[in-house]
Structure 1
C-alpha cells in the first residue's frame, strides 16, 4: 500500500480560562485570539482570526487546527472572522469519558458558538470535520448559513472496501509522524495521543450510514470538494451532491487534503490551495442564482 494512501487514510478518518490570550499567526502577519470554553463537560480550545462574517473551521481526524488548516487560515481570514476549533481529545481540547461521535462533535461546536455569542456562521469541515459539519447542518440547522464539505463521508460505501479492514487493524505506529508530532507539541498530556488514536479508530470501525432522509433535509447551500485521488470515492461525492438540493461539486487534482495544503501533503510541492481558496470564497460570498452555480 502506497505511503500516500496510508497518509490519506489517517488524515481522513482514523483518527483529525485563557480567553484573553493573544498570539502571532504562523506567518506572523495575522493576530489570533485563542482561548478555552467550557463545552458539554470538556474544555474546548479555539482560535479566532480576522474580522467579518464568521467561518467555522473543523479539522480532520487525528489532526489539529494547524495540521489541517494552517496553510489556508491566512487566506480565509483576509475578509472574514475565522473560528478554528480543536475537537474532543484532539490538540489542546480535553477528553471526556465517552467514545467519540460525529453527533457529539456537532453538539460541541454548536455549544461553543453559543458561548462565543455567534448566532449564525458558515462552516468548512475537512474529512472527519466534513462529516461533523454534515451533522451540524442536520442537528443545528438554525446556526448554519453555508457549508463547505471537504472529503466528507456519509456512507460506508463512500470508502474503498479495504479501508474498513485496515481500520480494524489500526496501530498508532501507522499514524503519520507529522500528525503525531503536532499533537505532542500542543497537548497537555502526551499519553492522550494513544487515547485519541484509539477513539478515532473505534469511531470509524463503528461508523454507520447517515440516513438518506437526513442528508436530504440539509437546506444550507453546500460546496462539496474531493480530490481526484482522494480516499473518498467520487461516486459518493456525486451522490451527496444529488441528495443536497442546490449543492455544488468540485473535484480537484491531487490526493486527500492536498487542495488545502494539509500537513501530510506538503512534500508534494504543489500549492493547490491557492486555486481552491478563491473558489471557496466565491461560493461563500456569492448569491446563488441557480442550482449548482455560484
Structure 2
C-alpha cells in the first residue's frame, strides 16, 4: 500500500470516495421508501426519479458516480417531513440507463428541467452536491424561472474553482481504479444494464477531465438566493469561492448595508467527503436558508 501512495496521490481520492460510499450505504436502512418513483422520458434518455413527502418541492442532485441513496440517505428522511423531495439520478448513474449522448452539464441541467416538466412542477428549490452542484448552477443559468432558491454544496461553476491537485486527479483517473469498489457494487445493484459499467466510468472520466466555465457574468445574473456550503479543506479554491460569493452579492459589510440574499457557510475541519456526512450541520443550514 505504501508503494501505491508513493507512486501517485491519484488513488487517494478514489479511496476516500470508496470510504464515503461504504459509510453511506451502511446507513441506507434509515431512508424511507419513496411515495412515487419511475422514469421521466427527457431529451432522448429516461431519467430515474424518486418523490418523498409533501409540501413545497425541493430537488436533490447527487455527486459524481453516486446514487440517490449513496448521497442523500440521511438527508431525505428529514427534509421529507415538511417538503416534497424530488431526487433524481443523472445520466448513466444508478437506475438511469447509460447513454452515448454527450455527458455535459448543459444536458444534465436540461434533464432536470425535463423531470420537473414530467412531474408538472413549475419551480422548486434546488440542492446540488459536488457534480450535482455544478449541474445546479447550470440549471439556474439555463432555466432561471424554475429555481426559487439554490443550494450549492462543495461545488463550483468552473473547473478552476477546484484546487489544482483536484483537477490533476480528475485527469489521471483510470477505469480500473473503480473496479470492485463499493461504487461498483452499488451500480451493479440497481443499474438496468450492469455490462455498461466500464463505458459509464470511461464517460465519467472524460467528463471530469474536461475544463468548464459557466461565466462570471452568468453567475452574477442568478436572481435566486444562493446558499453555498463548503468544507474549509474540501478541494474548493477559497480565493475563487470568495469571488463567487461576491458575484452573488455577498461579501458586504452587513452592519452598514442590507444583509445579502445569498449566504456562505464554511464548515471547519471538513473535507469534500466528510462534509456530506455532517447531516445535522447541513440540515441546519438548509432549513434556516430555505425558510
Inter-CA distance 104–8: structure 2 relative to 1 (3 Å threshold): farther
Distance apart, 1:9 and its partner CA: 7.2
Distance apart, 1:278 and its partner CA: 2.0
Q: For the residues of structure 2 that align with 1:28 and 1:159, how far apart are their CA atoms? A: 31
Q: What's 1:208 paired with? A: 212
**Unaligned ranges ≥5, structure 1:** 13-24, 262-271, 286-294
Alignment map for 1:1-294 (pairs within 5 Å): 1=9, 5-7=13-15, 26-27=29-30, 29=32, 31-175=34-178, 177-245=181-249, 246-253=261-268, 254-261=270-277, 272-285=278-291
Q: For the residues of structure 2 that align with 1:26 and 1:84, how far apart are their CA atoms? A: 17
Q: Deviations over 1:260-283 (max 9, x none)?
A: 32xxxxxxxxxx211220221110
**Contact in 1 for aligned 2:17/2:273 (Cα 8 Å):** no
Q: Give secondary structure in 2 for the equivalent of 1:229.
A: coil
Q: TM-score, normalised by structure 2?
A: 0.84
Q: Aligned-residue CA RMSD in angstroms?
A: 2.2
Q: Deviations over 1:56-78 (max 9, x none)?
A: 00001111111111111111111
Name which one, 1 or 2, has greater alpha-carbon Rg: 2
Q: For the residues of structure 2 that align with 1:10 and 1:29, how far apart are their CA atoms? A: 24
Q: Deviations over 1:45-92 (max 9, x none)?
A: 000001100000000111111111111111111110000000011111
Q: For the residues of structure 2 that align with 1:7 and 1:145, how far apart are their CA atoms? A: 36
Q: TM-score, normalised by structure 1?
A: 0.83
Q: For the residues of structure 1 that align with 2:197 and 2:156, how far apart are their CA atoms? A: 24
Q: For the residues of structure 1 that align with 2:73 and 2:125, how far apart are their CA atoms? A: 18
Bigger share in helix:
2
Q: For the residues of structure 2 that align with 1:9 and 1:199, how far apart are their CA atoms? A: 18
**Unaligned ranges ≥5, structure 2:** 1-8, 21-27, 250-260
Q: Give secondary structure in 2 for the equivalent of 1:66.
A: helix
Q: Stretches of 4+ moved more than 6 A in 1?
A: 9-12
User: Size of the alignment, in residue pairs?
Assistant: 263
Q: For the residues of structure 2 that align with 1:64 and 1:208, how far apart are their CA atoms? A: 23
Q: What's 1:265 paired with? A: none
**Contact in 2 for aligned 1:10/1:62 (Cα 8 Å):** no
Q: For the residues of structure 2 that align with 1:124 and 1:250, how far apart are their CA atoms? A: 14
